[in-house]
Amino acid sequence: MDRDTTPAGHVTRKTVLRAALAAGIAAPAVLMGVPALARNLTDGATPPPITPECHDGDAPTIEQMEGPYFKPNSPLRTSLLEPGTSGVPLTVGGYVFGRACKPIPGVLMDFWQADTNGAYDNTGFRFRGHQFTGADGGFKLTTIVPGLYPGRTRHLHVKVQAPGRPILTTQLYFPGEPRNNTDSIFDARLLMAVRDVGGGAKEAAFDFVLNIAQDPGPSPTPTPTATATAPGGTWAVGTAYRAGDAVTYAGRAYVCLQAHTAQPGWEPPSVPALWRAV
């Protein structure tokens, strides 16, 4: 099957995004739907083409094992590079969608990986960090290509959690790696699109599809929420919590596991990646 079209012949979302990048069109405009892309590529004298169905033919992104090296309390950051970091520079970007191809903002994404020698930092937080998708559902991670270690091919670990939804734990892989053929965990459905960008650096792309039903149409405009005054006390929307902050919710005590700003749907019982009952 042509990977740029669905079995029904519809253009895939990934094809539209790649076309937009090649044309220099901003990703947020593309994510408003194909008509925005068509408007930018026509002179306005003729109606834009019929909008292709927003569908990839993809099932939601598959789960994979967490492995033995996950640690909670990773720092909030989009770059895992630190002074003295060695390795091939790598930038990973993409979007998080629901089943109707609508981007999902505010998704918690926790990344961890091996260093260039194939070792994990299990005492500190080197090559560990979390971030949240933007209003356009996009994310970007600056890191290095992970090294190899016995039994595994190159891979990145990630936990993905939309507000108030279960955690998706999975791994991302690199195309063309010899060990892809011998790694019993490897799954081609989790291959990133990787290219060289000069200077020995690489750029990768991957779109996550979460098993979340969505109504068709544009994403809703985020609604501002009131900001609470300080962490601690009763959990409140808009509060910037830090790892270790203690709150109460519905009469029960919780401790914050990762720094974040509270949003509706992220009440402590709903997001075990952010809160632990005590």
DSSP codes, 147-203: --BTTB-SEEEEEEE-TTSPPEEEEEE-TT-GGGGT-SS--GGGBPEEEEEETTEEE
Say yes or no to pLDDT of 257 above 50.
Answer: yes
- In a domain? residue 66: no
pLDDT confidence of residue 58:
60
Q: Encoding tokens for residue 138?
A: 């996009």
Lowest mean pLDDT among 55-64, 161-170, 174-183, 253-262: 55-64
pTM of the model: 0.75
Predicted confidence (pLDDT) per residue in 85-98, tens digit: 999 999 999 999 99
Same domain, 193 and 264: no
Query: Which of 209, 230, 259 is a domain's end point?
Result: 209
pLDDT confidence of residue 231:
61
Q: Which domain holds residue 246?
A: 240-277
Query: Which of 11, 33, 55 is a domain's end point?
Result: 55
- In a domain? residue 233: no
Lowest mean pLDDT among 57-66, 91-100, 163-172, 193-202: 57-66
Same domain, 190 and 253: no
Same domain, 35 and 107: no
Q: Please give the tally of structural domains in the chain.
A: 3
Same domain, 25 and 105: no
- In a domain? residue 18: yes
pLDDT confidence of residue 273:
85
Predicted confidence (pLDDT) per residue in 150-160, tens digit: 999 999 999 99
* Cα 260 from Cα 274, distance rounded (Å): 8
- In a domain? residue 224: no
Output the domain CATH number for residue 167: 2.60.130.10
- In a domain? residue 19: yes
Same domain, 46 and 126: no
Same domain, 102 and 201: yes
- In a domain? residue 97: yes
Say yes or no to pLDDT of 143 above 70.
Answer: yes
